[in-house]
Structure 1
Amino acid sequence: MSDLTPLITEELAEPVDVRVSDFAADIAAQYGEAARAVLFYGSCLRTTELDGQMLDFYLIVSSYEAAYGKSWLVGANRLLPPNVFPAEHDGLVAKVAVLSEADFLRLNRPEASAVSVWARFAQPSRLVWSADDVARDKAVAAIEQASITLFELTIPVLGTQPQTPERIYRHGFELTYGAELRAERANRPGSVVDADPGRYDRIGLATMVTMQQQDPAEALNLTTPAAEKRWKALRRNGKLLTLARLAKASGTYAGGIDYLAWKINRHAGTDYVIKPWQRKWPILGALTMLPRLIAGGAIK
Structure 2
Amino acid sequence: MDSLKSLIAAEALQPVDPRVSAFAAELARPFGDTARAVIFYGSCLREAQLDGLMLDFYVIVSDYTAAYRQAGKGGWMARANALIPPNVFPAAHANLAAKYAVLSEADLARACSMQARDVSVWARFAQPVRLVWSADDAARDAALDALCDAVVTLLRHAAPLTDTASADPLAAWRTGFTRTYGAELRAERGDRPDKVVDFAPGYYARVGETIMREHPDIAAMPRAEAENRWEALRRRGKRLTVARLAKASFTFAGGIDYLAWKINRHAGTQITIKPWQRKWPLVAAVFLVPRLLRSGAVK
Q: Secondary structure at the match of 2:188?
A: coil
Aligned runs of 1:23-62 on 2, under 5 Å?
23-62=23-62
Q: Is contact 2:24–2:133 with CA below 8 Å preserved after alignment?
A: yes
CA separation in 1, counterparts of 2:198 and 2:288?
A: 33
Please give the residue correspondences for 1:20-169 in structure 2 after superposition, counting only pairs within 5 Å.
Answer: 20-69=20-69, 71-162=75-166, 165-169=169-173
2:260 and 2:273 in contact (8 A); partners too: no
Counterpart residue type for residue 229 of structure 1: N
Query: In 1, Cα distance between the equivalents of 2:291 and 2:23?
Result: 32
Change beyond 3 A, Cα 1:46–1:289? farther
**Pairwise CA RMSD:** 2.6
1:234 is matched with which residue?
Answer: 233
Change in CA separation of 1:268 and 1:151 when aligned onto 2, cut-off 3 Å: same
- Residue in 1 that maps onto 2:213: 209
In structure 2, distance between residues paired with 1:272 and 1:209: 51
Counterpart secondary structure, 2:99: strand
For 1:221-250, what per-residue CA distance to the aligned partner results, in whole angstroms no more than 9, with x for missing partners? 320111101100000000110111111112
Q: Distance in 2 between matches of 1:289 and 1:61?
A: 34
Q: Distance in 1 between matches of 2:138 and 2:266?
A: 40
Partner letter of residue 144 of structure 2? V
Segment drifting more, 164-173 vs 187-196: 164-173
Aligned residue for 2:130, secondary structure, equals strand
Deviation at 1:258, TM superposition (A): 2.8
Identity %: 54
Structure 1 residue identity aligned to 2:76: W
Seen in structure 2, the aligned counterparts of structure 1 residues 4 and 160 have a Cα distance that, compared at 3 Å, is closer
Task: Determine the structure 2 residue equivalent to 1:244.
Answer: 243
Give the conservation status (yes or no) of the 8 Å contact 2:159–2:219.
no
Aligned-pair distance for 1:47?
Answer: 2.2
Partner SS for 1:111:
coil
CA distance, structure 2, for counterparts of residue 163 and residue 60 of structure 1: 39
Relative to 1, partners in 2 of residues 1:108 and 1:165: Cα closer, same or farther, differing over 3 Å? farther
- The answer as to whether partners of 1:151 and 1:172 remain within 8 angstroms in 2 is yes
Task: Pick closer, same or farther for the CA change 1:156–1:272 going to 2, 3 Å.
Answer: same
Q: CA deviation at 1:2?
A: 7.9
- Structure 1 length as normaliser, TM-score? 0.88
1:190 corresponds to which residue?
194
Deviation by residue 1:59-99 (Cα, 9 ceiling, x = unmatched) = 00011122013701222111111111111111111111111
> In structure 2, the residue corresponding to 1:117 is in which secondary structure?
helix
Closer, same or farther in 2 for the Cα pair 1:11/1:40, shift >3 Å? same
* Residue aligning to 2:6: 6
Shift of 1:257: 3.5
Deviation at 1:29, TM superposition (A): 0.6
Gaps of 5+ in 2: none
Counterpart residue number, 2:292: 290
Question: CA–CA distance in 1 between the matches of 2:240 and 2:140?
Answer: 29
Give the Cα separation in 2 of the matches to 1:43 and 1:270. Answer: 23
Q: Is the 8 A contact 1:2 1:210 kept in 2?
A: no
1:258 aligns with 2:257: yes
Q: CA shift at 1:15, angstroms?
A: 1.1
Aligned to 1:201, the other structure's residue is in SS state helix
Amino acid at match of 1:248: K
The residue that corresponds to 2:17 in the other structure is: 17
* Structure 1: runs of 5+ lacking an equivalent: none
For the 8 Å contact 2:249–2:258, the answer to whether it is kept is no
Cα distance in structure 2, aligned partners of 1:268 and 1:169:
25
- Aligned match of 2:272: 274
